[in-house]
Amino acid sequence: MEIVTLTYKRPPDRVNHFQQELLYLDDDVIVTSQRVKPSTPIVQNGETVLADNFAAIWFVFTGLWYDVGKVYNLNNEWTGYYCDIMKPVKRSVDRAGKLDCFEITDLFLDLWINPDGTYEIQDEDEFEEAIQSGAIDTTLEKTAWNVLNTLIAEVASGRLEHRVQTVTNRMKFTDLQDYVEKLP
């Protein structure tokens, strides 16, 4: 598989670079994978659903203000979706037109979605701190909340799951879990 660089920005001036395996690419989406290192684990109903070295398959949709990470635990079992509210992705291609890197700007708010469709908003405290410090202006604040509410409506209607499954079908992966089991 091919490796691509994700430039991850967080206002006001944090920039990180992550190497991810490129699984699929078209005009609508970039799909990558990686082992994650969250700042804190996420626990739902007494079960850790996101922690160090869990696998994530990231669906970064062109033009949308969120991404979707399909998360698998250390036993390669799907634990849910992690969605970052962010500015739309920016792509950089090399001279041959091949994806060289892509950039996202995180807007702090996140949504954890359990397999049963229940969800929990994440990082509201960080979002409020960003507003108070001026890292997020009033326009971005309103946009982030609107995107989060739209995403919650997509979860409730099943549109988010359909969007991920449609891309998975285009990728010709019969089961992402088979792929995850082979991740280093």
- Which pLDDT does position 182 carry in this prediction? 72
C-alpha triplet 78, 81, 82: angle, nearest 5°: 130
- Which pLDDT does position 175 carry in this prediction? 64
Cβ distance 22 to 3 under 8 Å?
Answer: yes
Tell me which residues of the chain have a pLDDT lower than 70.
Answer: 174-175, 177, 184
In 99-177, beta strands by DSSP E: 99-113, 119-122
- Which pLDDT does position 58 carry in this prediction? 96
Q: Which two tokens stand for residue 63?
A: 């033009």
Q: Please, what are the domains in the chain?
A: 2-176 (2.40.380.10)
- C-beta atoms surrounding 15 within 10 Å: 10
CA dihedral 79, 80, 86, 91 (to 10 degrees): 80
**Hunting for tokens 């079992």 — which residue is that?**
77
Q: Which two tokens stand for residue 152?
A: 């919650």
Digit-coded pLDDT (tens) for 111-135? 999 999 999 999 999 999 999 999 9
Q: Which residues contact 91 (CB under 8 A, 6 or more apart)?
A: 30, 62, 99, 101, 102, 103
**Hunting for tokens 């891309």 — which residue is that?**
167
